[in-house]
Structure 1
Amino acid sequence: MNQGPGLYFDIGKKARDVLHKDYCQQTPIHFNYRFFAWNLDLSCEEELVHGLKGLFACNIPDSGKLELRHLSRFSGFSASIGLLGDEGKGYSPVANLSGLIGTRILSLGANLAYDISATRTTNSLNTGLSLNSPYLVASVTLHDYFQSLKGCCYFEVNPLTKTAIAAEVKYDLADDEITGVTIGAQHALFPWTLLKARLSNNGRVGALIQQKFGRKFSITVAGEVNLNEKDKEKCPKVGVYMAIK
């Protein structure tokens, strides 16, 4: 078991998994066939030497990256280079650097994404603070060049049934207003069957059921509806996600 702080992207991960992972979300660039929109995720991770791992991940046709990760007892650093897709601009080469220092309980980190194409601009600069206690997991992160703030919390009700609740609040520091609130929960009916649901302040309601077949294969069926849309446009979205690990 890793006793270190992990990586920067582990900040708020447990809350994100409950509120966002495997729901009906489509990347900016995807394949279309009639009324189907789909992507293909591939990834491979290998330990190069002790404490240093190499990772290859791609979402076809949206994005891909090569990444190096170094984990120690009190720090975690990563560096990656890849292509990021945009519907209007095409693909842009992006370099990413992140670092996290602290312990398994309390950690502080930052992340920098840099566009290495002809524009050579900084895509994003974020920083975050994470608290991982036995009773509550909470985090605060600054985004958009410190113009917006996001707070997340995760509370595990029953580890045996994976029952947990999570919440996320987004706040615009420039306009001094809350821009988004999302709450959600998960519960395992059986060790191999997981249910999740979420509700956002913009009227979006989502739910999913994930069925595992052994340790390496799972199928997820997810749905979402926007309650604020007009009756004629209030059409639920349904997606199917299959994973082999």
Structure 2
Amino acid sequence: MGSSPPPFSDIGKKARDLLTKDYNFDHKFTLLLPNSDGMGLTATGLKRDQIFIGDISTLYKSGKTTVDVKIDTYSNVSTKVTVTDILPTTKATLSFRVPDHKSGKLDVQYFHPHAAIDSSIGLHPSPLLEFSAAIGSKNCSLGGDVGFDTTSASFTKYNAGISLNKSDFSAALMLTDKGQALKASYVHSLDPLNETMVAAEMTHKFSTSENSFTIGSSHVLDPVTLMKTRFSDKGKAAMLFQRQWRPKSLVTLSAEYDSKAIDSSPKIGLAIALKP
């Protein structure tokens, strides 16, 4: 599995992570309480404007089985059961949410030395079917995904992409939005330790001939401090400052300024992740 191509959903992921991961313009607090016997408890709170949203989740691991149960402030109970190696190099996940009786879904992943396949089906009379596949290797892969709604007998999505990954750069080209948009992304490391990286993403919409782009950077200031920047053609500039003040405990400060929204103030967000 080490030389297998990444799943189709990972095509372009390195650039997306650099440009979007950990940016948060609300107030978020996460408390993780691990346990040596395979259980863990995570509490998350999010304050967005005047609305507070929270959830508590527990994770239990035993052998090849993982059970994740989450309860949110709206009394929804989400459960995910994952079993690995039912067959060699496969992973099956059953998920559902109470009280939504139509939320049940079965997802099966299969990894081959030259292919990664992911299929899912909704567990109700008129399910949504999804299938994705990538072929090649961890350095170069080609793939696509498709979604089909059996209720309306129509395709909900179909995308295709190709990626090239090396130790110092990663590039991806994707046809998205049912063939209506072309997206190219690139991330490059400027040093052998990947302490300074730059990324760019560009999208072209065929229907309107509209182009958009985002560029960003990531720099490790020291072993416990990370700084990121992001700029877009929409006139938005963002910065992130993240510091690990103890092992796996992070404080992240994000800010974004929209130069075209002159009547609004910059967005500022704070996220604290605490692991005792």
Per the shorter chain, which TM-score range? Answer: 0.7 to 0.9
Equivalent in 48, 51, 58 of residue 85 of structure 2: 48
Give me the whole-angstrom Cα distance separating, in 2, the residues matched to 1:122 and 1:206. 36
Q: 1:224 aligns with which of 256, 265, 269?
A: 256
Inter-partner Cα distance in structure 1 for 2:107 and 2:192 = 32
2:109 maps to which residue? 69
Give the counterpart of 1:181 among 192, 213, 225.
213
Structure showing greater radius of gyration is 2
Does the aligned pair in 2 maintain the 1:55–1:68 contact within 8 Å? yes
Deviations 1:66-121 (A, max 9, x none): 532211210001123469xxxxxxxx9744211000112211100112345x4453
- Matched positions, count: 226
1:104 aligns with 2:173: no
Cross-structure match for 1:141: 174
Residue from 106, 119, 122 that aligns with 1:79: 119
Query: What SS class does the counterpart of residue 85 from structure 2 fall into?
Result: strand
Percentage of identical aligned residues: 29
The letter of the residue matching 2:110 is H
Give ranges in structure 1 of 5+ residues lacking alignment: 84-91
Measure the CA separation in 1 of the matches of 2:260 and 2:25: 18
How far apart are the structure 2 equivalents of 1:193 and 1:145?
A: 40
| Shift in alpha-carbon separation, 1:114–1:219, aligned structure 2, 3 A | farther
Match of 1:86 in 2: none
Cα shift at 1:147: 1.1
Instruction: Indicate if the aligned counterparts of 2:25 and 2:255 stay in contact, CA closer than 8 A.
Output: no
Query: How has the CA–CA distance of structure 1 residues 219 and 120 changed in structure 2, closer, same or farther, with 3 Å as cutoff?
Result: farther
CA distance in 2, matches of 1:95, 1:198: 36
Q: Secondary structure at the match of 2:147?
A: strand
Where do residues 1-245 of structure 1 align in structure 2 (5 Å cutoff)? 2-24=2-24, 35-36=50-51, 38=53, 46-49=83-86, 50-55=88-93, 66-81=106-121, 94-116=128-150, 118-160=151-193, 162-178=195-211, 180-212=212-244, 213-215=246-248, 217-230=249-262, 232-240=263-271, 242=273
Q: Once superposed, which parts of structure 1, at least 4 consecutive aligned residues long, lie more than 6 Å away?
A: 30-33, 41-44, 56-59
Deviation at 1:17, TM superposition (A): 0.5
